[in-house]
């Protein structure tokens, strides 16, 4: 099994590299985040031995526990919805919060960061397709939220956008969403907002990451293709 994990990871990485080359992008532009949520620490340790460094978790307590127990420091990404009362668990343990979806959450991140003298990197989560079941601001609200956060909170560094595309059988169905996210990123970037750097576009999961990369993703978040199916549905 542990052999498989490493093989799976390498197969995904290879597919990313091939996809980049086929569409004229530099593979170094795309970071692969191994989404280890609900998987045991041993799986993380197995991948660490194969030089994997970026892991994604969606539950703050689980991220904290794995951070505390892992044998060597690695880069943990907070990829799932973050409740305001959980910020304190992860603020000094994550390299990037992918899921800032409200002014209120940013306010708490700012307060906890200021207390600890930290300058956390964050992405703004956009619910591009407007799905009711998903968190994230609408594409129309994204720029305004970014302006409000960056003008009021000096500890927070906004680095880009994140989206979770709809769960579809054919990844081509998400192409327009990924393309729209890239356009939104470029549009906000062109506004040159102080203290905002639109360099990261986090999109693409097991079922649709190649299409996401073709449309400009710089971070893909892959769970199932590396670790296998999860027993609990998120």
Ligand X SMILES: *Cc1c(COP(=O)(O)O)cnc(C)c1O
Query: Interface residues for ligand X in 84-113 (CB under 6 A)?
Result: none
CB of 139 to ligand X, least distance (A): 18
| ∠ CA 172-97-167, rounded to 5° | 25
225: left (phi over 0), alpha (psi -120 to 50) or beta: alpha
Closest CA to 165 of 133, 117, 187: 133
Contact between 234 and ligand X per CB under 6 A: yes
Q: Which of 90, 205, 212, 217 binds ligand X (CB under 6 A)?
A: 205
Name beta bridge partners: 201: 161
Contact between 228 and ligand X per CB under 6 A: no
Contact between 60 and ligand X per CB under 6 A: no
Residue 137 DSSP one-character state: B
Q: Report how many residues bind ligand X under the rule CB under 6 A.
A: 14
CB of 179 to ligand X, least distance (A): 19
Query: Interface residues for ligand X in 3-32 (CB under 6 A)?
Result: none
Nearer to ligand X, 66 or 221 (CB): 221
Q: Which of 141, 147, 206, 228 binds ligand X (CB under 6 A)?
A: 206
Q: Which of 60, 80, 136, 216 binds ligand X (CB under 6 A)?
A: 80
Q: Is 9 helix (H, G, I), strand (E, B) or coil?
A: helix
Q: Is 145 in contact with 188 (CB distance < 8 Å)?
A: no
CB of 133 to ligand X, least distance (A): 13
CA distance linking residue 221 with residue 1, whole number of Å: 21
Nearer to ligand X, 4 or 191 (CB): 4
Query: Interface residues for ligand X in 110-149 (CB under 6 A)?
Result: none
Place of tokens 């207390």: 115
CA distance linking residue 171 with residue 77, whole number of Å: 24
Q: Which of 46, 58, 78, 218 binds ligand X (CB under 6 A)?
A: 58
186-189 CB contacts, 8 Å cutoff, 24+ apart: 187/143, 188/142, 188/143, 188/146, 188/161
For ligand X, the binding residues (CB under 6 A) are 35, 37, 58, 79-80, 164, 205-207, 221-224, 234
């Amino acid at each position: 099994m542990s052999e498989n994990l490493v093989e799976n990871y390498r197969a995904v990485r290879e597919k990313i590299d091939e996809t980049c080359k086929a569409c004229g992008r530099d593979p170094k532009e795309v970071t692969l985040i191994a989404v280890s949520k609900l998987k045991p620490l041993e799986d993380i340790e197995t991948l660490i031995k194969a030089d994997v460094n970026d892991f994604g978790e969606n539950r703050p307590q689980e991220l904290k526990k794995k951070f505390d127990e892992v044998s060597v420091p690695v880069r943990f990404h907070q990829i799932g919805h973050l409740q305001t009362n959980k910020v304190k668990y992860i603020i000094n343990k994550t390299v990037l919060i992918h899921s800032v979806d409200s002014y209120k959450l940013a306010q708490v991140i700012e307060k906890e960061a200021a207390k600890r003298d930290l300058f956390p990197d964050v992405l703004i989560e956009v619910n591009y397709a407007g799905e009711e079941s998903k968190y994230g601001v609408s594409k129309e609200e994204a720029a305004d939220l970014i302006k409000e956060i960056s003008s009021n909170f000096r500890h927070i560094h906004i680095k880009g956008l994140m989206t979770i595309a709809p769960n579809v059988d054919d990844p081509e169905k998400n192409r327009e969403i990924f393309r729209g996210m890239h356009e939104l990123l470029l549009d906000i970037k062109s506004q040159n907002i102080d203290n905002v750097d639109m360099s990261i576009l986090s999109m693409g999961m097991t079922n649709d990451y190649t299409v996401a990369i073709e449309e400009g993703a710089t971070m893909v978040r892959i769970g199932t293709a590396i670790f296998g199916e999860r027993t609990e549905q998120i």
